[in-house]
Amino acid sequence: MSRAVVLLSGGLDSATTLAMAVDQGYDCYCLSFEYGQSHNTEVRYASTLATSLGAKEHRIANIDIGAFGGSALTDDAIEVPDYEAHDNEIPVTYVPARNTVFLSYALGWAEVLGASEIFIGVNAVDYSGYPDCRPEFIEAFQNLANVATRAGLEEKPITIQTPLINLSKDEIIKVGTELGVDFASTVSCYRLDTNGRACARCDSCVIRKEGFAKAELPDPTVYVTQALS
Amino acid sequence: MSRAVVLLSGGLDSATTLAMAVDQGYDCYCLSFEYGQSHNTEVRYASTLATSLGAKEHRIANIDIGAFGGSALTDDAIEVPDYEAHDNEIPVTYVPARNTVFLSYALGWAEVLGASEIFIGVNAVDYSGYPDCRPEFIEAFQNLANVATRAGLEEKPITIQTPLINLSKDEIIKVGTELGVDFASTVSCYRLDTNGRACARCDSCVIRKEGFAKAELPDPTVYVTQALS
């Protein structure tokens, strides 16, 4: 069996990506990060998902990128705003170089494992306008991986797989549902309340809600507008 | 004044690189890593160098790449060998994706600081044959940086500067000496003894010793062959 490193945030996209990699027959080694994110409960969701979807191993790396600040997701002084259309503007929830750092770690682990693939659930359709989610970024990282590693020099480069890149959010939800992803075990909200309920108004919540609506599938997310059970 | 992020390991090359960046008029923000390296006293040397060479700030990021193993520098089970000519073989001291991870962090911090440059002391002449020290690697990372960041999208890409890339070790030592680097405050050895003396036989020691000899400058390194003072 070929090995794959799968970046797993605990969100809907990376859960579906993991399910797709498992479905394609890879032995999956999942990697999550504690990077100073205010919404770091997502890492607990990632652990649950890794187990339920059949990963071989799940590692959580503690990394310091939050210490640099510069993002509403890592700096308490910057508020996560309600959803708005961004056009070409990059939102304040953008974390500088986050996917570059995540993929770099994945590359190192893939090299040690002898993995042939790295899966990342980036999506360029229903997304927040981050520069490091675009196909150009992935292509540039692939070119880097080809020259950065022992595997690359030995002409067995590690391939960056982005199975969601051209899917809309409702399509991702449909694929995940077919593959048995329990979306109640995924979290998207950037500002969960202390009871773990999603705000329903940040970018991430709005895109998720609209995805379930368009897919005509039940949305298992617990929102703040719902009473606690 | 323009800002620059400078990767500072505590070795001879990065110390000279910092001195060059300061000499070129940049406000320098130095970045070092605790990555599980067995020779992590180098980080203390880095702090001393940052101060003595006039850096504006020095940060030490704790990162988890050592946890993946796969290198003699991070895995006690793999011994650091004596020097040998490598031809095209990658030595066991290679740390998978290390410079990719380091540059990714530097990119994130540079973006937050509004820095225009990242300096890294990679060298493709007298080096250990690591894939991520070659000009092809730096060029690929530059291409990645251009698309990975807000700065790149706004057409003010962050430039990766490698002032040592084409210098031999003796040339680096001469330049550093001219710029006032105190090489006694730098460390290169991969297997210092408990008294901080260099082994004189690992790749890093042999390349360093030959550099001082060829530069016809006194080598301030304390080797295990010397008595403790």
Q: What is the pLDDT of residues A83-102, one digit of tens each?
A: 766 556 677 777 788 899 99
- Chain A residues in contact with B132 (beta carbon < 8 A): 148-149
pLDDT digits (tens, 9 = 90+) for A129-147: 788 888 999 999 999 999 9
| B126 contacts A137 by C-beta, under 8 angstroms | no
Structure tokens at A33: 């990060």
Task: Answer left, alpha or beta for residue A87, where phi above 0 means left and psi between -120 and 50 means alpha.
Answer: left
Query: What pLDDT, on the 0 to 100 scale, is given for residue A94?
Result: 76
Interchain CB distance below 8 Å, B108 and A100:
yes
**CA–CA min distance A114, chain B (Å):** 10
What average pLDDT does the segment B45-58 reach? 95
What average pLDDT does the segment B107-123 reach? 93
Interchain CB distance below 8 Å, A65 and B105:
yes
Which residue in the set A107, A132, A137 is minimally distant from B100, CB to CB? A107
What average pLDDT does the segment A31-35 reach? 89
Kindly report the average pLDDT of chain A as a whole number: 87
Interchain CB distance below 8 Å, B97 and A105:
yes
What average pLDDT does the segment A63-91 reach? 70
Interchain CB distance below 8 Å, A61 and B67:
yes
- Chain A residues in contact with B134 (beta carbon < 8 A): 147
pLDDT for residue B17 is more than 70: yes
Here the ipTM equals 0.87
In this prediction, residue A24 has a pLDDT band, given cuts at 50, 70 and 90, of very high
Of B122, B114, B128, B166, which Cα lies nearest the Cα of B141? B122
Interchain CB distance below 8 Å, A108 and B131:
no
- Chain A residues in contact with B141 (beta carbon < 8 A): 144
Cβ pairs bridging A and B (under 8 Å):
136
H or E element that contains A210: helix A203-215
Interchain CB distance below 8 Å, B140 and A146:
yes
CA B155/CA B147 separation, integer angstroms: 9
Interchain CB distance below 8 Å, B105 and A107:
no
Query: What pLDDT, on the 0 to 100 scale, is given for residue A121?
Result: 95
Kindly report the average pLDDT of chain B as a whole number: 88
> Quick one: closest CA in A to B141, which residue?
A144
Domain B3-187 superfamily per CATH: HUPs (3.40.50.620)
pLDDT for residue A122 is more than 90: yes
- Chain B residues in contact with A153 (beta carbon < 8 A): 90, 131
Structure tokens at A79: 């508020």
Query: What pLDDT, on the 0 to 100 scale, is given for residue A39?
Result: 67
What average pLDDT does the segment A146-168 reach? 87
Which residue in the set B64, B101, B143 is minimally distant from A62, CB to CB? B64
Domain positions in chain B: 3-187
Backbone angles phi, psi at A4, to 5 degrees: -135, 140
pLDDT digits (tens, 9 = 90+) for B157-205: 899 999 999 999 999 999 999 999 999 999 888 888 888 899 999 888 9
Of B47, B99, B50, B48, which Cα lies nearest the Cα of B73? B99
Residue recorded with tokens 């750092």: A101
Q: Indicate the pTM of the whole model.
A: 0.89
Residue recorded with tokens 């001082």: B212
CA A133/CA A95 separation, integer angstroms: 12
> Quick one: closest CA in B to A105, which residue?
B101
